[in-house]
Amino acid sequence: MAIPETPPNQMSFWEHLQELRVRLTRAILAVVVAFAVTYSFPFGLQDVLRPLKGMPPLRFLLWHWAQLPFLQAMSRTMGKPISELQPWAFTDLAEPFFSLMRLSFWAAIFISTPFIFYQLWVFIRPGLHERERRYVIPFVLITSLMFLAGALFAYFQAFKFLGDILFQEAKAAGLRANLHIDAYLDLFLYTLLTMGVMFELPVLTFFLARFRIVSARWLIKYWRHASILIIIASAFLTPGDVVVTTVFFSVILFALYFVSVLVAWVAEPRRPREDA
């Protein structure tokens, strides 16, 4: 029995694997280059470029930005200026080193997000029709912006909400802050990453509706089933056993789900599907 040949306009299984390897390699290289910047920039250039004179490596600035939302919440709750707060401690000598390295690594991923989304699009592009391939620029732009918007929302709003609740509870219990950097980064990075992924839901819904996989009517019909999945996903995605973050993630996902219904209604093709 003869093995059917692969059509000239399609890729074989091994060609798909090769293409996947190329895209993964390029995405990893982009993260590595970005990590070199986020961890050790300005590479000792202070002596060459005067504007960088006295500038510390970027990892220390990243740590300053990362701790700022919780320090602000702690300052509001305790009634002390941030300069007087010293909540951080470590019991392992390697903890600060690996924590700052991990923070720099995730910052590199955030910076590389547009390039990573572009590599994802290039990988799936061969399986699309010619008119669908024109979505490359909107796909890369919108997915990147929504991911960063979710991370910024988490940084400026989610941590304000969570920090106020958590520190008020600690103050009411008469507890003194003695926080580990590693444990805090677990909450910080997980919240930013999770919120960034959550904000991709309307984008995913747009393309699924555009390709007639889902519809606004279908999303409304199964909203009760989606509610159960949202609560389960929020509980699964919540770092540690902080119940308030589960509730917070659930509310955000509910809002994004109904935004996705509107997006699906806008994205649905108004013309009947054309036969291939």
Domain assignment of residue 7, yes or no: no
Domain assignment of residue 62, yes or no: yes
Domain assignment of residue 253, yes or no: yes
Q: How many beta carbons lie within 10 A of that of residue 257, not counting itself?
A: 19
pLDDT of residue 241: 57
Q: Are residues 165 and 85 part of one domain?
A: yes
Residues in the chain predicted with pLDDT less than 70, given as ranges, are 1-13, 41-55, 127-129, 132, 237-242, 270-276
Which of helix, strand or coil describes residue 43? coil
Q: How many beta carbons lie within 10 A of that of residue 198, not counting itself?
A: 24
Q: Are residues 240 and 128 part of one domain?
A: no
Domain assignment of residue 1, yes or no: no
Which pTM was predicted?
0.75
pLDDT of residue 168: 84
Name, in order, each residue with C-beta under 8 angstroms of 259's C-beta and a sequence gap of 6 or more: 201, 202
Q: Residue 108 corresponds to which tokens in the numbers above?
A: 């590199």
95-122 pLDDT per residue, tens: 989 999 999 999 999 889 889 988 888 8
Q: Residue 179 pairs with which residues in a beta bridge? A: 88
Q: Are residues 271 and 212 part of one domain?
A: yes
- Residue 93 DSSP one-character state: T
pLDDT of residue 272: 56
Q: Are residues 122 and 81 part of one domain?
A: yes
Residue at token pair 């500038």 = 55
The pair phi, psi for residue 42, each rounded to 5°, is: -100, 30
The pair phi, psi for residue 56, each rounded to 5°, is: -75, 165
Q: Are residues 139 and 270 part of one domain?
A: no
Q: Are residues 254 and 195 part of one domain?
A: no
Q: Are residues 150 and 51 part of one domain?
A: yes
- Residue at which a domain ends, from 143, 171, 199: 199
Max Cα-Cα span within the chain: 81
- Residue at which a domain ends, from 160, 179, 199: 199
Q: Are residues 167 and 93 part of one domain?
A: yes
How many residues are there in the chain?
A: 276
Q: Are residues 127 and 24 part of one domain?
A: yes
Can you give the residue range of the structural domain that contains 265? Answer: 200-276
Domain assignment of residue 5, yes or no: no
- Residue at which a domain ends, from 177, 199, 221: 199
pLDDT of residue 275: 45
When divided into structural domains, the chain yields a total of 2
**Angstrom distance (rounded) from CA 31 to CA 27:** 6
When computed from its CA atoms, the radius of gyration of the chain, rounded to whole angstroms, is 23
Which class for 85: exposed (0-12), middle (13-18), buried (19 or more C-beta within 10 A)? middle
Q: Residue 105 corresponds to which tokens in the numbers above?
A: 């690594």
Q: Are residues 204 and 166 part of one domain?
A: no
Domain assignment of residue 165, yes or no: yes
Measuring CA to CA, how many Å separate 222 from each of 104, 215, 233?
Answer: 41, 11, 16
Q: How far is CA 46 from the centre of its chain?
A: 32
Q: Are residues 241 and 114 part of one domain?
A: no
**Angstrom distance (rounded) from CA 26 to CA 11:** 20
Nearest in space to 269 (alpha carbons), one of 208, 199, 219? 208
Q: Are residues 252 and 190 part of one domain?
A: no
pLDDT of residue 1: 43
